Amino acid sequence: MSGKTKIAFLGTGLMGAPMARRLLGAGFSVTVWNRDAAKAEPLAADGADIAASPADAVAGAAIVFTMLTNGQAVSEVLFERGVADSLAEGRIVVDCSSIAPQIAREHARRLAEKGIRHLDAPVSGGVVGAAAGTLAIMAGGDGAAVESLKEVFAVLGRVTHVGPSGAGQVCKLANQQIVAVTIGAVAEAMVLVEAGGASRAAFRDAIRGGFAESRILELHGARMVERNFAPGGASNNQLKDLNAVMAMADELSLELPLTRQVRQEFADFVESGGGEQDHSGLLLQLEKLNPRN
């Protein structure tokens, strides 16, 4: 895969912008588009071409990355705004958005009718991982297509082929289950520690490296101690993913009590105005449930 390979990157928000910047830094030719052009324009300083429309962005591209809000947004960009019609046969669409598995499978089917390959490749690692190139990338679709893009994926993080179309999204939902439940566990522990008279910061330091160690404790635990809830991952997006998990669980007749409970906690937090705060801000919801005089 040559650094001259032309890549289109559609969606340059919190995650998309640093991912596109990584590709530019690796020498790839990247054209970017974002619904709000103001979020794409700063990438011009890094060497990106800025497109006025999604169809313009993908003209001549060998690979198209999408990092958009939800399945509806991806469908619209691919099939209503000219992307699928502007791509030649054999091109690859890599959807890094977090969407429902059945929607990813439908996108793959519709693109295959035009001879275009599709990978659902959602990511985990947040803005920090996107900027550092350490994302965990869960790719569903054709294994040969994943292998053909290994040099591109290596710039962004570590890719794992997890199964056929839709499997990447299933694994991302499972990842989001673990993230949400662990955030809830750390937040509850922070409430307990403070109510019991200990220091939250000292508690976090004390258990680092033990069996409770995790990236959630490291990063989101620090946010809870510092009360810094500017979004790296917004709570409304966490709730969207948990809703998708529960819909899938109902479809498969699964009972997931921890996930169901934390989904309700995030729903209450979002309803009370916390949707744009980081998902570590779930601490605020638990503090409301446990007021201290």
Angle value at C-alpha 20, between 32 and 149, nearest 5 degrees:
105
Query: Structure tokens of 241?
Result: 């993913």
Element (H, E) at 189: helix 167-195
Place of tokens 């479809």: 251
Residue 163 and residue 182 in contact, taking contact as beta carbons nearer than 8 Å: no
Tallying the residues shown for the chain, one arrives at 293
d(CA 194, CA 203): 9
Query: Structure tokens of 1?
Result: 């895969």
Residue among 112, 65, 61, 110 nearest 87 (CA)? 61
Single-letter amino acid code for the residue at 179: V
d(CA 4, CA 27): 7
d(CA 241, CA 180): 10
Question: From the candidates 4, 114, 172, 240, which is the catalytic residue?
Answer: 172
- Note if 288 is an active site residue: no
Residue 9 and residue 19 in contact, taking contact as beta carbons nearer than 8 Å: yes
- The terminus-to-terminus CA distance of the chain in angstroms comes to 62
Instruction: Tell how strand 92-95 and strand 63-66 pair up.
Output: parallel
Single-letter amino acid code for the residue at 193: V
Q: Where are the beta strands (DSSP E) in the chain?
A: 6-10, 29-33, 49-50, 63-66, 92-95, 117-120, 123-124, 135-140, 157-163
Enzyme catalytic residues: 172
